[in-house]
Amino acid sequence: MFLNFPTLSVNEEALVRTFTGHTGIVVKVVAGTNETFWSASWDGTIVEWNINRNEPLVVFNHPHQVHSIAVSPDERYVISGDDEGYLYVWDNKSKKLVNQIQAHKGYVGDIKFGGNSIHVISGSFDQTAIIWLFLQGRLVKSIELKGHHNGVNVVHLDHEKL
């Protein structure tokens, strides 16, 4: 983790901590609250970390390579997307998988919660983005957005326009 860096060049004096625990490429990092963050890896794990310690707080084991992750604003739920097009919903309170859905026909490149926590959007290599209703761990397809000419690797949801 780098703090107060003026450029993107490596400054060894700015290195505060190295987090180790994944055995594959880390593809997404999402900020949490209360000095936490989440990482997703092709090793099939999702890890919650505390920025002041370098051991995992929570590890969710995914059946496939994880390509994307989203954390609800209250950190109750974590949604992960894999290379098979599945979305997995994890309950961070119970530490259990509560939902799994075949969402796309290609890897899930990105997932985001809307600011109201009622909506989620996912984007995929299958050239679609889907807006979901999120109801206490359950995903219900609301709108499928087609027509992209390439895979959708980054999504954003402006809940004020829904």
pLDDT digits (tens, 9 = 90+) for 105-146: 999 999 999 877 799 999 999 999 999 999 989 999 999 999
What pLDDT score was predicted for residue 2? Answer: 44
**Beta-carbon-side half-sphere exposure of residue 26 (alpha carbons within 13 Å):** 13
What pLDDT score was predicted for residue 117? Answer: 79
In the structure encoding, which two tokens stand for residue 146, read together? 């087609």
**Where in the chain are the domains?**
13-161
Q: Average pLDDT of 80-95?
A: 96
As a whole number of angstroms, the distance between CA 107 and CA 28 comes to: 14
Residue 60 has pLDDT above 60, yes or no: yes
Q: Give, in words, the CATH class of 13-161.
A: mainly beta
Residue 72 has pLDDT above 50, yes or no: yes
What's the DSSP call for residue 54?
Answer: S
As a whole number of angstroms, the distance between CA 149 and CA 127 comes to: 7
The percent of residues above 70 in pLDDT, for the chain, comes to: 90
What pLDDT score was predicted for residue 3? Answer: 47
Question: pLDDT by residue (tens digit) across 34-51?
Answer: 889 999 999 999 999 998
What pLDDT score was predicted for residue 161? Answer: 61
- E strands, the chain, are 26-31, 36-41, 45-50, 58-61, 66-71, 77-82, 86-91, 96-102, 108-113, 119-124, 129-135, 138-145
Task: Return the higher-pLDDT residue of 5 and 64.
Answer: 64
**74's torsion region: left (phi>0), alpha (psi -120 to 50) or beta?**
alpha
